[in-house]
Structure 1
Amino acid sequence: MSKIVLYEEPDCRGDWKEFTDSVSNLGTESFAKTARSLKVEGKHWVAYKDKAMKRDFMVYGPGEHNNLGCMDREIMSLRLVKEELGNPEIVLYEHVDFRGEPRSIDERVDNLNTAGFNDLVSSHEVKQGVWILYEHFNQTGRRLITFKGEKCSNYCLFNWNDKLSSLRPLLKSDHEV
């Protein structure tokens, strides 16, 4: 079984709360913007700074995370990563509504420019795994996370049209992303 334990103090100390499934609003659990450290067992978890699993996020793999850095007292929702992290695949499309030239990607790409596809993506479909998409080269800038089965038909809806420059699959070995 996978679980995450949030602690009110650094170094996994103080009052704590354990979760075994996703939580869209930690306020209902009286633990919103409280965590200063955490421990993960089993699969990865995604912690978000907003309710309903939106906005800025951090992915935590198995182990103790004694200091949460930019997520210190910021976590508002949690998502358990239920997807298998082997054999990742995402299909990127040049235009909205999955039109235009498609590109199937199955590994980390630090610079979509080398593939002639930089700043051209307007939609995607995740076939397998969990993917982190970045606005700039070498996994920098604003980012999005997307999961197996998710289809995003129009990047214009969140001001990402023609901005994707790098991406990477979440790996089992990732400790913190």
Structure 2
Amino acid sequence: MTQSTPTLLFLCFKRQLCTPSNCSQHNHRNLLQKHFSSLSLLESSFKMSKITVYSRPSFEGRSAEFMFDVTDLAEKGFDNSIASIKVIGEPWVAYYDKKFAGKQRVFEQGEYATLVDKDKFSSLKMVTADLTDPEITLFEHVNYQGKRVTLRKETNLKDIEFSNIASSHKVTRGVWVLYEGINRQGSQLIAYPGEQVPNYVPLSFNDEASCVRPLLPRS
């Protein structure tokens, strides 16, 4: 047994990468290589992800590029000063207030030459959550009371007689976008995995949701 084997055994134990049935030095190495290869791909995806903001429409004026969350755009000279956006890689959420508060809007990979929310944003957050196998449950009343519906795909809520009545939610998996209007129109509320929101009233979103969709992994 080589000197590096104890390290491999320790990592396999900590990560639960092997079982007694496959526990051999060869399998250790293969499992570790596969595991760290996946981590490397995930890390590379995030490293390649960035958002570029511009002070004027059509990608003109001052610009700034961010690869990490920005809690206060005032510190970067861009508070309430974003008029167009380019996104590469993972989605980003832009917030009206600093520290990821207030109204919000998601921007997936693409170019946005004009913005409905021009000169409104004060913080930016990259979406890094696992987007596979999404699931959310909406509730008719606050504190998860009343009728409920569990969704796993994009849905116009009027099609299931649940439009404009949701008052709370629980997210099992994935990142979800709730829209004020059908077909992805109007104001947005972004819901993250594991999140439980007992009352939409403080968010000014009570009885507003008309369309719900999960953010999907990039192919």
TM-score range, shorter chain: 0.7 to 0.9
User: Equivalent of 2:215, from 151, 154, 170?
Assistant: 170
Q: 1:129 aligns with which of 157, 160, 174?
A: 174
Per-residue CA deviation, residues 14-53 of structure 1 (Å, 9 max, x unaligned), is 5432222221210022221233333322211112233233
More helix per residue: 2
Aligned to 2:66: 19
Secondary structure of the structure 2 residue equivalent to 1:24: coil
Over alpha carbons, which structure has the higher Rg?
Answer: 2
Q: What is the percentage of aligned positions where both structures have the same residue? A: 37
The structure showing larger relative contact order (alpha-carbon pairs under 8 Å, at least 6 residues apart) is: 1
Match of 1:146 among 173, 191, 196: 191
1:60 CA displacement: 2.0
Matched, 1:3 2:44: no
Flag structure 1 segments of 5+ consecutive residues without an equivalent: none
TM (normalized to structure 1)?
A: 0.79
Give, as a single letter, the amino acid of the residue that structure 1 aligns with 2:67: T
Could you tell me which amino acid in structure 2 is paired with residue 31 of structure 1?
A: F
Aligned-residue offset at 1:153: 0.5
Deviation per CA, 1:54-105: give whole Å up to 9, x if none: 344332222443x233233333211101122232210112332223343210
Structure 2 portions without partners, runs of 5+: 1-46
Over the aligned positions, Cα root-mean-square deviation in angstroms equals 2.5
Q: How does 1:11-160 map to 2 (within 5 A)?
A: 11-65=58-112, 67-110=113-156, 112-160=157-205
Q: Does the C-alpha gap of structure 1 residues 118 and 70 become closer, same or farther in structure 2, counting only changes over 3 Å? A: closer
Distance 2:183 2:99 in 1: 28
What letter is aligned with 2:136?
A: I
Q: Distance in 2 between matches of 1:50 and 1:68?
A: 20
